[in-house]
Each structure stands twice: as C-alpha cells, then as structure tokens.
Structure 1
Amino acid sequence: MSHLVRPAWFRCLGIAGLLATGVAVAAPAAPAWSLLPQPAKATPARTGAFRVADGAVVAVHGADGQTLQAIAERFVQHVADTNGLRLHLATPGTAQPAITFDVTPKADVADDAGYRITVDDHGILVTARTPRGAFYGGVTLWQLLTPPGWTRGTPVEVAHGVIDDHPRFAWRALLLDSGRHYQSVADIKQLIDWMSLNKLNVLLWHVTEDQGWRLEISKYPELTRHGACRQAVGLDSELTGAAGQPYCGVYTQDEARDIVRYAAQRYVDVVPEIDLPGHSQAAIAAYPWLGVTGKRPEVWTDWGVSPWLLKPDAKTLQFVDDVLDEVMQLFPSRYISIGGDEADKQQWNASPEVQAQRHALGLANMDQLQGWFTQQVAAHLIQHGRTPVGWDDELVAGATLPASEVVMSWHGNDNERVALAAIQQGHDVVMTPQESLYFDHVQSGLPDEWAGPPPAATLRQAYDTVVIPNGASPAEAKRIIGVQGGLWTEQMLTFAHDQHAVFPRIAALSELGWSPAGAHDWNTFVQRMPAELARYRALGIDYTDSAFAPRFQVTAAANGTFRVELSNQAGFGTIRYTTDGTKPTVHSTPYALPLTLPGNTSLRAATFAPDGFELAAPRTQRLDASTLLSRDGSALATCSSQPASRLDGRRPAQGPRPVYAVDIGNACWLWPQASLEGSRHVELTIEQLTWRFGDEAKDAVVRPKASTAGEFEIHVDTCSGPLLARLPLVSAAPAKGLTRLDATLAAPVGTGVRNLCVFATGDPRDGQWALARMTFSK
C-alpha cells in the first residue's frame, strides 16, 4: 500500500470541512522538520504544507477508542501548553478534522510502538497498530506543531510528506534515585510526563538505599517507620528546617500504585529497584538481624559505599522474598531490579558464620557467595513470572550472575569489555555507562556549573555513547536491549537540580534509544536542539545551557589591555557580545576573532541559534586591574591531578547557593603560571563543608597544622616551596557559610610568572575546606 493512500472513510471527508480548522496552502519549499529523536524514516515532500490554526479539530478512529481518545486529549493539552494553539476534539456536529489518529491492528507500520504520519492537502493522519504507537505518533506531531522559531498562538505550516517510525531499542530508560534524596509524587509524575515526550519508556525507580528505605512494605513496617529517616546532616538541615529535624521520605503503597498507573497511561513502565545485598544499611537499621554483626547502625548520613551488607542466610532470604512479593503486587512490570552493585564485603569477610556458610556451599570467595545469594533471589522472581535485573559488578569481579538476569552495564571503560562479557555469557544487556550516561555528573567546567561528581559527562559525550560494545558480532549485538541514563541524587537536593541534570542530556539519550544507528550525527543533532530547547522552555523545564554557554579565556595584552577568546562546548551557535554591560541580543556583535579590550570593560556574551533562539543565557567577564590577579576556585587545578567534584555550599541569606570545585579529601589547589607582579596582599573566600564522603575517608590527605584551628597556606613554585602567605582559620572554623581571610604577603611577588600552591592544613574529615576565590592585590 502506498504511504499516501488514505482509508476510504478518510478520503471521503473532502476539503470543504477543513476551511475553519486547517487549510491546505501552497509553499515554494517545505518547512523544515525539526524532530528529536530522529525518526526511522522521514520523507518531506518538495513542496506543499498543511496549515494548522487555532480551532483545528482532532478526531480519533479505530480500535480501542477510549484509550485513543485519552491520547488525543493529552496531545491537545501539550500543544496548548507549548504552542498555545487551542485544538478541539471532534464531537458530533463539529467541523471535519484537520488531524486524525487511526489505530488499525493490521496497519502497515513496523512494531507495536511504531506509527506513520502522512501530511497532505487533506490534513494530517497518524496511523498505528496500537494505542502505544499512536501515542508516539502524537509526540512527533506535537513536535511538528512546535517547529524552529514558532510563535505562540500562531498557525503552523507542516510540510507535506510521510514519516515512518519505530524505536531501535525496547528499553529506553531513566533511573531515578529516590533513596538519597526524596522527590514528591507530583515531581515524579512531572518527570514521567517529560520522559514520555522524549519517547523514553522505562523509569527504573531506585527506592531503597543506605540513606533511606522509601517504599512501604506492610509486613515489615519498621522499614519505613525507622529506615526512612536519617539525621539531617549538612545541607539536609536546610531541607528539613533544622539540624534536629530528621530527613524523611516515604512512598505509601497507594502512592506507588498511583505512580505506576500514571506512568502506564504515558507508556512508561515503572521498574522498581530493591538493591541487594549492598546499599542496605537503612534496612539493617530497621531490623538489625538482617545484618552480620547483630548491631543496629544508624540510617547512613554519608554518601558512597557502606560496608553494611545483608546477612546471606535463610532468614534474610525469607525477608527478601516477602518484600519482593509485595513489590510484585505493586508493580506489574515484567522486570524487577535487585541491584547487586557496590557490595563492600568487609563485614562478610570478618564474620566466622558467613565464612563457614561459604565453605559449606563450596564457594571459593565472597563474590561467589554474593552470586549464590543473587541466584536465590532471582529464582523467586522467575518462579513468579518476572525477569530479574541487576548491575554488572559481579561480572567485573569475575563471578557469574543468574543466566536469566538482565545486566545493566555501568562500567563503560576498557571499550565496554564488561558489557561484551555479559552478552557473550548470554545476558540481555542495558547500556548505562557512568562515563557518559550518569546524569548526576557535572556537565562542564564553567564557574556556574551546578554540583555533581567528576568527570564531566557532556552533552556530546552522552550523544556519542557506544551502545553496541566493540567486538560484538551481529548476533551478540541483538542482546543489547536498550540504554539508560542514571540520575543518582547524592548531590541533587531539589527537583530543580534534577531537571538541570537531566535536561538536555535526555535528548541525547532519547536519540540513542529510539533512532536507527544510521541516523546518528552530532551536527544534525545540535541543529535540531534549538527547537527542542524551546519546547523545554515552554514546558517550564529548568534545563542547563552548559553545552552552549560562552567560555572566556583572558590573557594580558599590550599596554594594559586584555586579549579575550570566546568559545562554547558544543561548537554550535553564534556567540554575540557587548562591552558596555548591556545584555546581548540577536542583533549584538557576533564573535569571530579574539578580542583586544581595554580595562574597565564589562564584557557580556550569549549564544544564539541561526533562527535567533537564545541557546545560552549571558555570561559576564569583568576586565579590570583585578582580572588577572584573581581566580575562581573552579579555574584552579587540583594538587592530585584528579578532576574536582562540584560541591554545594550553604545557601546564603541572599543570592544563589555557592558551588565549589573540590578534590574530596585533599584541600589543595594549584595556580600555574600566575602573573602577580608587585602584589602585596591576598584574600581568600572559603567555606568549610560537612564531611559526608563515606568510603573516601581512607584517602584523605592530612597536613600538619601550625595552630590549633589550622590555616590556609600559599607556597611559591611547589607545595613545599617558599611560604608566600599563611592565613589562620581561627575566625573561619566556627562560621556558617562563606568566610573571607586576608593577609599581607611574606614578600612582594617579583617579576615574571610563578606557580602557586594553596592548601588547608588539618584533617579534611573534620570538615572539608572549599576555596571559592583567591585574589591578590598590590
């Protein structure tokens, strides 16, 4: 059947009924389709477009009318929320439709999630075999109605042509960690909405952790009565209101069912994760007999890997079976994740009882014992018709996992060797490499980058994720069932931060999961991003613009002037600037070559798409006598040569929360090639952060103190070179928030450039010092 052939019932509608709702217009060239993810096949016609205006009618036809009606209603709402066009659902007596959704089980489309969109003079027809396919067709049509440069409330001309589309992978997922920081039910629903508009279909919901057991289990009420609350340490106290007010969060079973139902309406499968046997300190805090020592730990207030593992005995396995029985009642998903990652076995190794159990089972080591434990848990799920899912850690350790288990491979180093090993062992695999798809990682080295661990996972790195392991045969490649982004929330205090971390990297994830491999092209991807970012903005998504933000590189030039180079991470868009402190616009001067500017200049720059859309908000660089004598902490190198973490500071009474670049456990920074000629004074802006870094304590660097409170020291050439300044911390240690220290230099800095080392003395585990800024003056 030709793609342009209509069913008879549609053809007989004619054109007369379209005049008030959608108009066929002649066009010399088809408007561009800016779609993300890229469809499997998109064929715009050379000429012609169909006009969709306010009041256009949307009709549904075919199988499962009630479900299809709900899909059409959501489509109409999304168009209203973004474009502002008020479309109307067809009712008896209304004008003939401009847009029709038709579900025909025998439709000539690929895949149950596939669809076809046909646009011609008669209107727009979305055809699918199932409501799921119609839903995804509606998402694409919504994008067609929000093209590059759309103006809210004005008619849209959609190019004639045909789109035939279906997903590349069945598993297109986002992991949400609700254990470390809790999100409200309303926030989770909002995230599910936005996921569905990026054609993601799995929410892997991480609901148990060392820092909090979040899911109500009726047979074990202490899991949430005791295990869902932790002491409000550090910035948690800002969320609770006081250090004495515990940080808590629970999802009742009714709330879980509500989230599952809401997600299903948007074709998102909620896969729960009950992490076993590690990440279980909160469970052991609720029921100490679940642990090895018999002692009751506190619900953990640190981040990292806790040594509190579940005891691998029959009583614990019965507990796990009971928990999973209730989980399976709440979550109808075929898949249940049982975790299995980061199991620190020091307590198992120290336990004579666990050692005896291992010997009795004839196992060579504790990794094999974990494998045995996982086998028992997996068998219970399989017996109930479910498929276990878990992390790849045991494969990294050389142990085996249950043959039926789906492996989430997060170790993407060494050319994806772990994922390759998993598929060669017969596992289905989900690719979720931390190096590019962990969305908690920082996205840039900009001074205004939000908090997150290193190394950076940029938009480009996310887009270029390897989804088929190198060396996989065509048959083995079929074992890759999907991709997954990870939102781990140790440093995600708020839902605003969650949004900032996920968007726009979710666009890269979307295209990895949906689009065919042959469509993968960074240049066309960034060209389609302006329209996508405009949709995010219209939906109210607080996305980051790091990939497009201007970066300033400032050096000294002749006669007291400055040489400034501008660039951005993505290498896309036009950077425009002003030098009088005003906000750059699409009409401001475009940057082409390095600038030479005088002192006392306020340089502001922003990035614009070809259609004038602002890709990145303005950034400012002040050029004056202090410019080259001052450094933000994020512009300094670490003494260990390791990439710095970005850590939140306390929120001040006014202004934004500070964020610091810190090598956790090593309060030491380098300023190479500092040009400080004639400087006599130095000022440091610092803050002491609460130590919450768990297993990183073993690598902490302790420097001897010259006084009881300790001090910051600045040395020339090396960290053991001549002392340039010592700044005592006696006034800073009790402070809450930013503190300024100043000192006269031991001797004026001579001519030329010098390497500087600045560090805090003392033990960082007593409080991690962060350096916000270092400024010299003459």
Structure 2
Amino acid sequence: MRKLTLLASVAVSLLLAGCAKEQKETLSVIPVPLSADLQKGAFQLNDQTKLWIDAPQEDKTRLADYIAGSPFQLDAALEEVVDNVVILQQVDRLPDITSSEGYVLEVTPKQVKIRAASGAGLFYGVQTFLQIVNEKKELPVGTVTDEPRFAYRGMMLDVSRHFFDVNFVKKQIDAFAYYKLNRLHLHLTDAAGWRIEIDKYPRLTEFAAWREFPTWKEWWNNGRQYSEEGSENAYGGYYTKEDIRELVAYAESRYITIIPEIEMPAHSEEVLTAYPELSCTHEPYKQADFCVGNEKTFEFLENVLTEVMELFPSEYIHIGGDEAGKASWPSCKLCQARMKKEGLKDVNELQSYLIHRIEVFLNGHNRKLLGWDEILEGGLAPNATVMSWRGTEGGMKAVESGHKAIMTPGEFCYFDSYQDAPDSQPEAIGGYLPLSKVYSFNPVPDTLSAEKVGLVYGVQANLFTEYIPTPEHAEMMIYPRVLALAEVAWSAPSKKNYENFHVRALKAVEELKKSGYNPFELKNEIGNRPGADKPVEHLAVGKKVTYGLDAAYYPGYAAGGDTALVDGVRGGWTYGDKRWQGFIGKKRMDITIDLEKETELHFIGADFMQVCGPEVFMPAEVIISISDDGKDFTELKHIEHKVVKDDKVTFTNFGWEGNAKGRYVRYQATSGEFGGFLFTDEVVIK
C-alpha cells in the first residue's frame, strides 16, 4: 500500500479567535467548510482507537485502504462499538445537504462520526478529519456540516509538452484529493508529443511521442522534428495501457475521475507527421489540422477513441477543439466536397461537422463530449459540454443554450502564468496570476438567471507546460494556487475570506514542503508591479485624449478605452489585467492630450512592456512633441530603440525630461521589425 505522501506530516493546528464572553475555536481547513459548530473538549486518538465503516463493500474497501495509508492506521473493529472509535456511515440522506458529496462530521469526547450519502462524501469527511487532527492527535468537539458548491472540481495537467511519469501523477492525485478536487484532466496529445499507447496505431508511440530536444522551447525553435523511439537524444515518453489502468485505479481509490483529452481537429502535428495521409496535403511536417473531408480521418479518430474509452471509464471524453487554423480546408478538394455534400457554408461549420459526428460516436458508447469553447463555432453539438477558457463568454453562451459549462478562463485559471514578480520566477509563458487573483474568481456571473445557474457544472485550473520542463517546476506552479481554486470550487461564496485563506495557505505550504512537494514560497511573495496598487497623480489625469488616424487601440486590449492612458491607473505585471492598452500592426500608438491651457512641463513619459513569447515588444521609435494650438507641434525628443528578443518580462519608460511650455502633448510610438503588440498603461505628464 503506497503511503499518502501529503498526509505523512499533517498536523494542522487550530486557530483561536476571541469572543465577547468565551474563547471560541475555528477550524483551519482547506477548502473552508459550510459550517463548523465547535464546543469545548476534544476526542483523543490513541493506539486503541478503532475504525468502523458502514458502507457498500467497494467504498468500505477504498476507505479502509486509504485510512490504512494515512498517519492514523486505525485497526478495524470486529463489531460495532460506540467508544473510542472513528465511524464512517453511509446513509440515504442528510438534512440540509443537497449534494451526495456532502458530509456531516460529528466529534464527541467518545467518538468521531462521519455520515454521508455516498462513499465520496465519506472520503471528503475523512479529509476534513485529517486536517483538523492536531499534533497531540486530538480533534475538537463539535459538528462540521459541509458540501461542495460545484459538482466538477478539476485540475488539468499537460503531459504532452513535457512528459511526467506515473509516480508524479499519483503524487498530484494525493494532493488534489486532499483538497477535495474530483477531476484530473490529462492533456495527452498535442504537437509536442503523443502520450498514450494505441495498439492500432503504433507509430504514435514509436515516433510521435519522441522529439530531438528535451525542452519544448528548444524543440519549437529548432525545426520541431520528431524522433524514433530509442534513437540518440530522443526525448519524450508515453503511458502504456498498463500505466493508464494503474492511474485510473489509483485516482478512483481517491474518488477522482481522470478525463482524457485527445486533440482534434487541431494541435495534431505529431499525428499528421506519423500518419500524413490524414492531413489535407498528405505531407509530413506541413499540417496541424486533420482533413475533415477524408473518411480515413474519422476511421482513425474512432479507432483511437475506442481504445481510449476501454481504458478510461469517465463520463466525459475531451476532444480539444481549440485553435484550429483551418488553413488548408478552403483549398482541399476533399474538405470542399464534404462541405458541398453536407451543405456547410464555411470552414467553421466544417469543424462543427466533425464535432457533431464525434459526439454521435461517443454518445453511441454512452459517453459525453467535452471540448474547449471553440466547439461553439459553427454550431454546438447537441449534448456537448463546453470548457470555457477564452473568458467566461463561451460558457455563458453554452449555458444560455441549455448546455453545461465548466469555467476555466485564462485570467483566473491558467497556472502557466507567473504567480509573482516575473524577475523573481523561472521563465513562464507570461501573464500574472497570483494566489489572490485565483481566489477572487466567481464562476457564476451575477447576471445569470436562477434557472441557468445549475448548468455551470464547475471549475477547473489548467497547467499547460510549454515552459515547465521539470516535476519540481510543475509543483511550484500548481501549489498553492490550486488550493485557492479548490476553495472557489467547493466553498460557499459567503464563507470565503482571502485574509483568512492566506493564513491557512501559508500553513498548507509548510505542510506540503514537509510532505515532499515543491510549492511556491508564499511567505516570500513580492506582489504586483510597483505603482499598480494606487493611483498616480499627474497633469494629464482626466484630460481629453485624441487618437490619430490609423492609431486605434486593439479592441481586445482597450483597457479603459479613450481615457485609459490618462486615468491615473498603472498596469501590473501582465497586459491581461485590463490596465494596459494594446496597439498592433500598423495601428501605431499616436495620441494627443489636451491639458486645456498652456502648462509648464518637466516630464512626459510612458511605460512599455516586452514579453517575446506572445509577441509583445518594446517600441522601435518614440516621438514626444508639444503644441500651443494642437496643429503645429514642436518635437521635444525622438527616441530610436533597438528591439532585441529575450526570455524575460521587461518594462521600460520612454520619456523626456526638461523645461517646456505647451497645451497639447503628442506621444507617438511605433513597432519595430518584429511587429507584434505595443502595450502601454499611462502617459504621465509632470
């Protein structure tokens, strides 16, 4: 029996809070329970404490084995007892509990009793039990009544960009279960490597699972070639069918369902190089999208999914569906013939055809289709569930049309973003997602009608691993942010409090470290970019801004619109925080600020950021000018800047200092040879 690494040193202390008349104890549990009514006194665990489980045999075995692997290896009672015993009892229902995963934990000086309507409910009661035992092996007397807010509480692990072995995945399952998550979404296939054994298509693991470079970044920047298994310098790996069975069984023993993802129609370069006849051009290394007009594509996908379903008993099979370029479909004779035959008006409907057809296949095997929100394009398949990552809009569109949605917007749920000041962290894909931001996520918009709320099935965090090559790095990115996601997924909004959670998270980080994990050192958190936490006062705040011809900001990064660059609000570590205004392509930055009267000027400047991965660059040229009439401008400074690509997130102020007078200030910035985005947050004038 594999010991529970997370629980090896668990001894979470009780927080004491003063009351007017008497001292009252509150629990330090993650996620925070629905209610906890604590009294004076304690139950003492000792060598004679017994375990009694009254539940169906499968659950009884799972729970007994799990507790046997915990620090409290209780001996099973031979008959039902009432003193010095931990009782797990499955019941038909519990008062005031609507979820089968809910539980009631009652502690008296004589016994601990956990009641629930399912084995999963008993298991989650056990997690709370394990978290509240103190160093003296005592539990406080009282009653905890608890149930989850959402039925789906998930974490996605990308094992394609960098492969992580079975033991690593098991280790994460231990932690996810401890914090009451119940879904593990495995991103098994993508351009960087195919990670699951398929008997009918051996080239997927003989060739498409291996590449020339150990890191995704090296591979991506050096030709993106694949290698034969066993060849010199081949990097990669895959799960055998026996590995998958082992993982599925291990997850089930902790009441976690593993959901496999097999990408289609895009992100499939590895497949289409191993089997180029499934692409529109039939050429290796040329295509990312399956040829939807080719019947062999559906033969392949159905054969693969058949073998996948034999391994994974999950209700859902994730089919990707995101970021399809569709580049060859308009010129592909087979795709065009398919469109004509099926009466499809565009390539979006052609993608929808594939999604619909795969859904029919999955439904025929008593499974349901799950996909990223692009599966909405061209029409959503009748029984599909949408995983909304491009904001919450896709999820809301699905819900409004009567479909379930899982909320996983990048702004709150993408753990591949920096969680602290970028220069203090290993290289990441960009962005800034601190613990507090994850915790602030509300998956159910206030505007959603009461009858639609139930269609918000749950929430999920995602760890895409392009820039995360090692197990230690992966754990640093997951923990403690997944604890915040767990509380968002489980706890009632009225029970959430970030200051209180932060105290509990600091303790959890120390326990994770003792248990062999590598969490981010929350106690050393730097926080947001200096200046982003309070308004900046300067002469241009609130003044009128005019944008020059061919100088409109990009609608997706408008920040505050026409007033964004003079609103006194500085941006943080990421352009995704809605404070940075973006300009792209020929839409150079060119704004004129009316100070309303002639003003003495001593400083004019603006900050820009550079993050080369998503093609955000510094300006190559900046011109700062002033005018008395808004027509004839005098140049104060002309800055030429050599834009150099790097691996960092950097910030630079391009400005002028001196003495001048003027009413109008014009600030122009132009991209360099790399194009991409320009982002600035405020034009400061002093």
TM class, shorter-length: 0.7 to 0.9
Q: Distance in 1 between matches of 2:43 and 2:157?
A: 40
Matched, 1:39 2:39: no
Q: CA deviation at 1:528?
A: 2.8
- What pairs with 1:451-530 in structure 2 (closer than 5 Å)? 451-530=427-506
Aligned to 1:742: none
SS at match of 1:31: strand
Cα distance change on mapping 1:311 and 1:537 into 2, 3 Å: same
Matched, 1:195 2:187: no
AA in 1 matched with 2:421: G
Q: Distance in 1 between matches of 2:441 and 2:622?
A: 42
Residue among 498, 503, 515 paired with 1:539: 515
Residue among 386, 392, 413 paired with 1:407: 386
Cα distance change on mapping 1:737 and 1:453 into 2, 3 Å: closer
- What pairs with 1:662-677 in structure 2 (closer than 5 Å)? none
Residue among 225, 231, 244 paired with 1:256: 244
- What pairs with 1:345-360 in structure 2 (closer than 5 Å)? 345-360=326-341
SS at match of 2:451: helix
AA in 2 matched with 1:314: E
Aligned length: 561
Task: Answer whether contact 2:104 2:145 (CA < 8 A) is retained.
Answer: yes
Q: CA deviation at 1:320?
A: 0.8
For normalisation by structure 1, the TM-score amounts to 0.64
Matched, 1:211 2:173: no
Residue among 41, 55, 75 paired with 1:89: 75
Matched, 1:175 2:156: yes
- What pairs with 1:260-299 in structure 2 (closer than 5 Å)? 260-297=248-285
Cα distance change on mapping 1:481 and 1:391 into 2, 3 Å: same
Matched, 1:376 2:352: no
AA in 1 matched with 2:332: S
Cα distance change on mapping 1:764 and 1:472 into 2, 3 Å: closer
Q: Distance in 2 between matches of 1:458 and 1:258?
A: 34
AA in 2 matched with 1:403: P
Q: CA deviation at 1:314?
A: 1.6
Q: Distance in 1 between matches of 2:572 and 2:34?
A: 45
- Bigger drift between 286-295 and 523-532 goes to 523-532
AA in 1 matched with 2:297: T
Q: CA deviation at 1:246?
A: 2.3
Residue among 419, 444, 449 paired with 2:425: 449
Superposed CA offset, 1:538-596 (max 9, x none): 32221113576246999xxxxxxxxxx9x999xxxxxxxxxxxxxxxxxxxxxxxxxxx
Task: Answer whether contact 2:421 2:527 (CA < 8 A) is retained.
Answer: no
Give percent identity, aligned residues only. Answer: 27
Superposed CA offset, 1:239-265 (max 9, x none): x9x996122211111111111011000
Q: CA deviation at 1:418?
A: 2.3
Matched, 1:339 2:298: no
SS at match of 1:350: coil
Aligned to 1:61: 53
Cα distance change on mapping 1:165 and 1:464 into 2, 3 Å: same
- What pairs with 1:51-200 in structure 2 (closer than 5 Å)? 51-53=43-45, 55=47, 57-64=49-56, 67-75=59-67, 77-78=69-70, 80=71, 87-90=73-76, 98-106=84-92, 108=94, 110=97, 111-146=99-134, 154-200=135-181
Q: Distance in 2 between matches of 1:131 and 1:58?
A: 19
Task: Answer whether contact 2:386 2:403 (CA < 8 A) is retained.
Answer: yes
- Bigger drift between 119-128 and 491-500 goes to 119-128
Q: CA deviation at 1:751?
A: 9.7
Q: Distance in 1 between matches of 2:464 and 2:445?
A: 24
Q: CA deviation at 1:125?
A: 1.5
Q: CA deviation at 1:509?
A: 1.1
AA in 2 matched with 1:407: V
Cα distance change on mapping 1:551 and 1:56 into 2, 3 Å: farther
Cα distance change on mapping 1:546 and 1:41 into 2, 3 Å: closer
Q: Distance in 2 between matches of 1:247 and 1:419?
A: 37
Q: Distance in 2 between matches of 1:52 and 1:74?
A: 21
Q: Distance in 2 between matches of 1:716 and 1:367?
A: 43
Q: Distance in 2 between matches of 1:477 and 1:762?
A: 48
Q: Distance in 1 between matches of 2:162 and 2:669?
A: 34
- Bigger drift between 522-531 and 112-121 goes to 522-531
Aligned to 1:315: 296
AA in 2 matched with 1:203: L
Q: Distance in 1 between matches of 2:263 and 2:276?
A: 17
Superposed CA offset, 1:103-138 (max 9, x none): 233353633222211112213212223322211111
Q: CA deviation at 1:309?
A: 3.5
SS at match of 2:112: strand
- What pairs with 1:413-452 in structure 2 (closer than 5 Å)? 416-452=392-428
AA in 2 matched with 1:292: C
SS at match of 1:348: coil
Q: CA deviation at 1:417?
A: 2.8
AA in 1 matched with 2:386: V
Cα distance change on mapping 1:189 and 1:229 into 2, 3 Å: same
Task: Answer whether contact 2:116 2:122 (CA < 8 A) is retained.
Answer: yes
Superposed CA offset, 1:503-553 (max 9, x none): 111111111211123323323322432333333233222111357624699
Cα distance change on mapping 1:760 and 1:369 into 2, 3 Å: closer
Q: Distance in 1 between matches of 2:389 and 2:335?
A: 29
SS at match of 2:86: strand
- Bigger drift between 468-477 and 259-268 goes to 468-477
Q: Distance in 1 between matches of 2:50 and 2:519?
A: 31
Aligned to 1:604: none
AA in 2 matched with 1:508: A
RMSD: 4.3
Q: Distance in 1 between matches of 2:619 and 2:26?
A: 60
Q: Distance in 1 between matches of 2:523 and 2:303?
A: 46
Residue among 50, 68, 93 paired with 2:42: 50
Q: CA deviation at 1:759?
A: 13
Q: Which ranges in structure 1 are unaligned for 5 or more consecutive residues?
A: 1-26, 81-85, 147-153, 299-305, 555-564, 570-634, 645-662, 666-688, 704-713, 739-748, 766-778
Superposed CA offset, 1:70-126 (max 9, x none): 424433544x3xxxxx55324569998634132233353633222211112213212
Cα distance change on mapping 1:517 and 1:212 into 2, 3 Å: same
Q: Distance in 1 between matches of 2:572 and 2:402?
A: 44
Q: CA deviation at 1:637?
A: 10
Q: Which ranges in structure 2 are unaligned for 5 or more consecutive residues?
A: 1-17, 220-226, 535-569, 578-582, 586-610, 626-634, 649-655, 660-667, 677-686
Cα distance change on mapping 1:721 and 1:636 into 2, 3 Å: farther
Aligned to 1:595: none
Superposed CA offset, 1:158-212 (max 9, x none): 3221111222211111111111111001001111111101101111111011111
Q: Distance in 1 between matches of 2:451 and 2:425?
A: 42
- Bigger drift between 31-40 and 401-410 goes to 31-40
Cα distance change on mapping 1:418 and 1:722 into 2, 3 Å: closer
Q: Distance in 2 between matches of 1:702 and 1:512?
A: 39
Task: Answer whether contact 1:103 1:131 (CA < 8 A) is retained.
Answer: no
SS at match of 1:50: strand
Task: Answer whether contact 1:101 1:125 (CA < 8 A) is retained.
Answer: yes
